[in-house]
Amino acid sequence: MTLIKSISGIRGTIGGIVAENLTPLDIVKFTAAYATFIKRSITLRPVGDSFSQKRRPCIIVGRDARISGEMVHRIITGTLIGMGCDVTDIGMATTPTTEIAVEKENASGGIIITASHNPKQWNALKLLNNNGEFLSAAEGEEILAIAESDDILFSPVDELGKITQKQYLHEHIQQVLSLDLVDRKAIEAANFRVAIDCVNSVGGIAIPELLYALGVKEIFKLHCAPHGNFSHNPEPLPEHLTELASLTRSSKATVGFAVDPDVDRLAIYCEDGTPFGEEYTLVAVSGYILQHTPGNTVSNLSSTRALRDITLARGGEYNAAAVGEVNVVAKMKETNAVIGGEGNGGVIYPASHYGRDALAGIALFLSYLAKSGKKPSDLRKSYPSYFMSKQKVELTPGIDTEMILNKVKEMFRDERITDIDGVKIDFPDKWVHLRRSNTEPIIRIYSEAHSMEEAEDIGKQIINIIQKFS
């Protein structure tokens, strides 16, 4: 069993020993630390001409449908009101819905109860700032420090917070429909047939409602009951989505969509049941955006080079960020990017909000299909073709990863090196990126080339180097 404390939140397996798993005591501890951080950073609200009265913090809380969600949710909301925070409880909600709710409610922050693509025994607290965005590294470190200190002070009885319940899915869908590049009329006129796999979580509520709102009348559903007992591994990868591939093909659907449990990642399937490719979700949506609003793009260092290619072809500038949504968002703001995200199917469209959003991704992709008149398989063929290999090396205790990274940099010093997050080596026709995982004792090695054989070969070269110096 595992408990992982990181700058992006706390994640762990349910049950077991305190401080080694995600137990109720650990949940209280880190929720109280987050509330303390929020109370310290909250701005003063003017009362007449006076700024002496502090605004009571309001925290948005939403959760995915996993089995432990209700238990974790009750502990978090109780702790927050015990810390003197008001809570707007939006119940079962997607991660992007919760992010949008923070912004619309002018809240002080938000907690998303989800372990994303992890199996059902996991849960986590994802922490948001008052913009509905993930905390910075420095803010995350501050919360971890508070959690280990004696600086947490619960509120007296007259200063306890209160809970208000709201639903925000409708507002989220309306925000998606209002986007200039979402063309509901074109989607409705195209008479699309759509297959979906929502892995028994909140996508089973959100995705059908979105599709009906977009004018899609025929939806073929897999695993849409939001009971949290996932019918397959919840990470939306081809090896876990064989049922969706078969359903898309057998139902003669136009396209298939799969999401992870908190609906911030989107996988697309072509009409013939073949995967569009998780790396190409962002590429396709960016291709559509760039046709209408040329500009800059951002993805992380481990994402496909295809985004760079299509951005340069449209006269824009491509930039790579360190791995992690908060890093991608920061780089997008810095470079005024019109679209960005991550190669795991995460689309970040600033015209909507600065967060990965599968609902926005679906609406934009269907608009693209409707306007282009192309099948998904033909659309996929229109992009530069790359193959990505994802490998890893287990780390033994005490291994000096910095020494290994420096050795790799030295060996490839004649190539283009980026070291803002591990080491990425860019060759003219391929690249390889190695970085230590934030959540597991491993070094991940991602590589990409024009053939899978080339991608795997350069990855294996790096693995051999790591093993040599381990």
| Per-residue model confidence as pLDDT tens digits over 324-354 | 999 999 999 999 999 999 999 999 999 999 9
The answer to whether the CB of 328 falls within 8 A of the CB of 341 is yes
Q: Could you tell me the pLDDT band of residue 62, with boundaries at 50, 70 and 90?
A: very high
State the pLDDT at residue 9.
Answer: 82
Q: Is the pLDDT of residue 82 over 70?
A: yes
* Domain-ending residue, one of 350, 381, 412: 381
The CATH code of the domain that includes 420 is 3.30.310.50
**What percent of the chain stands above pLDDT 70?**
97
Q: What is the pLDDT of residue 49?
A: 47
Task: At 57, list the tokens.
Answer: 């913090």
What pLDDT, on the 0 to 100 scale, is given for residue 81? 98
Query: In terms of pLDDT, which residue wins out, 292 or 399?
Result: 292
pLDDT value for 365:
98
Please report which confidence band the pLDDT of residue 1 belongs to, taking 50, 70 and 90 as the band edges: low
CATH number of the domain that 154 lies in?
3.40.120.10
Terminal C-alpha separation, the chain: 26
- Three-class DSSP category at 444: strand
- How many structural domains comprise the chain? 3
Domain span at residue 452 reads 387-469
Residues 6+ away with beta carbon under 8 Å from 224: 196, 198, 200, 203, 204, 205, 207, 208
Same domain for 205 and 162: no
* pLDDT for res 441: 76
Instruction: Provide the token pair at 71.
Output: 């238990």
Q: What is the pLDDT of residue 70?
A: 98
Task: Indicate if the pLDDT at residue 146 is higher than 50.
Answer: yes
42: confidence class by pLDDT, cuts 50, 70, 90: confident
Q: Which pLDDT does position 50 carry in this prediction? A: 46
Residues 327 and 363 in one domain: yes
Q: C-alpha dihedral over 194, 198, 202, 206, to 10 degrees?
A: 0
316: left (phi over 0), alpha (psi -120 to 50) or beta: beta
- Alpha carbon distances (Å) from 275 to 49, 111, 269, 312, 418: 60, 33, 5, 26, 31
Query: At residue 113, does pLDDT exceed 50?
Result: yes
459, 445 contact by CB (below 8 A): yes
pTM of the model: 0.95
Say if residue 107 is in the same domain as residue 177. no
Domain boundary among 167, 201, 217: 167
Tell me the pLDDT tens digit for each residue of 126-142. Answer: 999 999 999 999 999 99
Regarding whether 393 and 408 lie in a shared domain, the answer is yes
pLDDT at 54 over 60: no
Q: Which residues pair with 297 in a beta bridge?
A: 318, 339
Residue 399 has pLDDT above 90, yes or no: no
Position 6 pLDDT exceeds 80: no
Check whether residue 210 and residue 280 sit in a common domain.
yes
Interatomic CA distance for residues 337 and 351, integer angstroms: 10
Asked if residue 196 and residue 334 are part of one domain, the reply reads: yes
User: Residues 298, 237: contact at Cβ < 8 Å?
Assistant: no
Shared domain for 394 and 352, answered yes or no, is: no
Q: Do the beta carbons of residue 93 and residue 128 sit within 8 Å? A: no
Which among 349, 381, 413 is the end of a domain? 381
Task: Name the CA radius of gyration of the chain, rounded.
Answer: 22
**Under a CB-based contact definition with an 8 Å cutoff, are residues 297 and 337 in contact?**
yes
Q: For the residues 171-183, what does the mean pLDDT come to? A: 98
What pLDDT was estimated at residue 48?
A: 47
Would you say residue 411 has pLDDT above 70?
A: yes
How much is the mean pLDDT over the chain? 94
pLDDT given at position 75: 98
154 and 213 share a domain?
no
